[in-house]
Structure 1
């Protein structure tokens, strides 16, 4: 069986009639049940905004290590530069059942988040950490803020789209995301010639699921590129459209739908000897919800009836990143089952 990864035109969806929307919703629901992924066109991002952000991010990664080190991340909820690292620790943990290799994943990342502030220093530290913009590259901040403005706009449209597919009120997710936590990540995958040796089992990004509700990915196609997984096909390379975003669901949306939809298990292959100069840079927007949102699994028919327990949005993410419950801010705990 070959998995079908549909493309949804967001602009067309927003103006379509009921019959067309039902047809799109049916195909999208199937893909999210089977794989947890679709492509999004009609999103309205100017191509120049994407190209500018990618170019400015490349300038950052080209800096000497000692200069990037000024912005190094040393906590899992921080913003800044993350050096090549094994899955787990400060990075996103490996998918369940996937071994943690001794060698680092072959990518570097630069992370920023929203500028929202609550007035509670401890809460802001864990939910809205201050961005650390490279002083030597002011253009990076301008390009990133322009791009993330589009990401926040698109995320609201996707929240409405997903609510309609589930036959929920259109604002079901948006009213729980008025001060949403999110992370914009630029990930650089160096070429084989740059990294030299690739150890057995080493990848550019090991198998994992994302932790939030969904992720918006602007990717570059490559021999050592993105792969997705599902039961029917195992690992496969999803379709590539240079003008489309990849949308993949994360753990919180799988939790919210009580297992009806799945968090996408995915990886990025190692740089290949067949393309030793291949150098890729992905722009990855990880979206969540308001940090204190109680994610209560939906009852059937919207939910699958798996009986999962409720979780608090940001607390769930921090704990998966290795932050102990006693170290998290004053976010509510879910009620006892």
Structure 2
């Protein structure tokens, strides 16, 4: 049975207006969590309770619709990372090049669009228009509110990350002013009467997140989210009351030459004491960076004894490889280091 790992709880409320010493202390705490775990619980984030309640109402309202209504929001191709994804449609471990049974979640995605950046030439592959449902009536307003709140927190975290890496706090701004940002609503619950769980099947298979940083809201349901430590063991993570889970993505691992962790994580099929599948909800906001941002090792993160571990790559190229895996079910051949970690871990 997996043990629970204590993810640091960090109050960032003093970062925006605090003095130099307070900002440095917050950055040091964030940097330590980034090095040691790659996950952190952030409080003092300033996200209003009303926005959280609106998010939960939107998740409940949309996933409570009849399947035929949800399917009306399905994109015409898996290459379009928007709208509804049905149960057992994706395999997140494929983003690392590791085969697995289909994942037990349904999802709804929105994200940054070309129309939000008038006069800027952006690839439709990464900035498709959103597919909004007609019902529930308040869904779009509630989700757009959450998208804005989570995005503001993600950008605040990148300023803290920069200070923690001994860089100016605006260092990452040129890499994120036209960022590919995606909000994914996840619902883990099989339809009534459907209890088919294959051996080794996950709610969401083992993976790392693809971009810079993820802002995660999730139900406090266990078993559920698990992260892998440096020894290859899995640990349960339960969100702290009032906190947002923050984890690093592949871009920060590449920038820092793996000094910071893009932590492997997965979601177990949530079950109760009788072994019956129960519901779990989450909302993951992925702040991935500009599609044409070239990510290579940062100054000070490589030396003669620690040469760069990754070749330079643009954010757009990296995301394309990952999404062709998880959504297109093409095993990704470009994540050898992460795949080796997943395959060497405990069950």
Q: TM-score if structure 2 supplies the norm length?
A: 0.83
2:73 pairs, out of 67, 71, 75, with 71
The alignment partner of 1:56 has SS state of helix
Structure 1: gaps (5+ residues): 324-337
1:53 pairs, out of 49, 52, 55, with 55
Deviation at 1:24, TM superposition (A): 3.6
Report the CA distance shift for 1:110/1:287 in structure 2 as closer, same or farther (over 3 A): same
Q: Is the 8 A contact 2:40 2:246 kept in 1?
A: yes
Partner deviation per Cα, 1:159-188 (whole Å, 9 max, x = no partner) = 100000001111111232111111011100
CA distance in 1, matches of 2:285, 2:151: 9
Partner deviation per Cα, 1:117-161 (whole Å, 9 max, x = no partner) = 356999442121100100132311010011111112112111100
Which residue is 1:100 aligned to? 100
Q: Is the 8 A contact 2:4 2:237 kept in 1?
A: no
Report the CA distance shift for 1:121/1:301 in structure 2 as closer, same or farther (over 3 A): closer
Which residue is 2:112 aligned to? 114
Q: TM-score if structure 1 supplies the norm length?
A: 0.85
What is the aligned residue count? 318
Which residue is 1:6 aligned to? 8
Q: Is the 8 A contact 1:296 1:311 kept in 2?
A: yes
Partner deviation per Cα, 1:276-313 (whole Å, 9 max, x = no partner) = 36311101101111111111221324896434211111
Report the CA distance shift for 1:302/1:283 in structure 2 as closer, same or farther (over 3 A): farther
Report the CA distance shift for 1:32/1:214 in structure 2 as closer, same or farther (over 3 A): same
The alignment partner of 2:206 has SS state of strand
Q: Is the 8 A contact 1:192 1:273 kept in 2?
A: no
Which residue is 2:330 aligned to? none
CA distance in 2, matches of 1:50, 1:210: 22
CA distance in 2, matches of 1:200, 1:11: 44
CA distance in 2, matches of 1:121, 1:77: 20
Partner deviation per Cα, 1:24-58 (whole Å, 9 max, x = no partner) = 43343232123211111111111121121221222
Q: Is the 8 A contact 2:80 2:128 kept in 1?
A: yes
Q: Is the 8 A contact 1:259 1:306 kept in 2?
A: no
| Matching of residues 131-280 of structure 1 within 5 Å | 131-190=130-189, 195-232=194-231, 234-274=233-273, 276=276, 278-280=278-280
CA distance in 1, matches of 2:159, 2:168: 8
CA distance in 2, matches of 1:222, 1:77: 30
CA distance in 1, matches of 2:103, 2:4: 29
The alignment partner of 1:298 has SS state of coil
Q: CA RMSD in A?
A: 2.6
The alignment partner of 2:10 has SS state of strand
Q: Is the 8 A contact 1:8 1:39 kept in 2?
A: yes
1:312 pairs, out of 314, 324, 341, with 314
Structure 2: gaps (5+ residues): 326-347
The alignment partner of 1:181 has SS state of strand
Report the CA distance shift for 1:65/1:4 in structure 2 as closer, same or farther (over 3 A): closer
Q: Is the 8 A contact 1:87 1:93 kept in 2?
A: no
CA distance in 2, matches of 1:192, 1:78: 24
